[in-house]
Amino acid sequence: MKLQVALDLTDLRKAIELTRELCNVGLEIVEAGTPLIKLYGLSTVSALKAACPKAEVVADLKTADVGALEARLAKEFGADWATVLGATNIETIEDFIKEGRALGLKTAVDLIGLPNALERAREIMKTVTPDLFIFHVGVDVQRKTGLKFEDLLYSAYKLKTEGVGVGIAGGITEQEIRFIISSRKLVDVIIVGRAIVNDPLPLSKFITMNNILKQAKSESL
């Protein structure tokens, strides 16, 4: 499992500085969040890549149309990964993934906002399979719908057992990470945003979370 830090910020300088700091303590995947890209453009991807060349950079485009074009743009600006919405039409998803594959760009389908994410992922796989499906439910949605993190993890893990890369996102804290490990329903990528970025000591919080994952990995060897 890898820890992906989502920089859903509106301050580019802060995003770059934080990326540099985290780079020195083991950052593997950093995400140029959708708000950051909307405000500053895809140049934010290039800036984060320059701040931490050894980390993979995700352009969280949440593409909804012109899939091939947006995949090309992400790659041109140095992204290693880019995201497309699972809720959009299959033609866009297919174009996005195929163009990404041709360019060497890894692709992730974000299943946010879907009432049955597992069924939609399987439906998409009948046409095309991305490098990763992201099971993504925000904290507010969990509270209002009664959806539990355990249910989200179960769906993600079920798809992983079918041979597909999966990630999980949505208000994840140390508690959820420990639950993933104890449940043995391990996923490929755990995406954490606010719990690190909004913490008074984001560097320490990242180290703590990353160490939990490292320990779990060493114990499984």
Domains of the chain, by residue range, sit at 2-220
The residue-averaged pLDDT of 27-35 equals 97
Give the per-residue pLDDT at 24. 96
Q: Exposed, middle or buried: residue 104 (CB in 10 Å: 0-12, 13-18, 19+)?
A: exposed
d(CA 110, CA 82): 10
| pLDDT per position as a tens digit, 103-152 | 999 999 999 989 899 999 999 999 999 999 999 876 566 566 666 788 88
Predicted TM-score (pTM) of this structure: 0.94
2-220 CATH fold: TIM Barrel (3.20.20)
Give the per-residue pLDDT at 145. 62
Give the per-residue pLDDT at 144. 64
For residue 110, how far is the Cα from the chain centroid? 8
d(CA 86, CA 64): 9
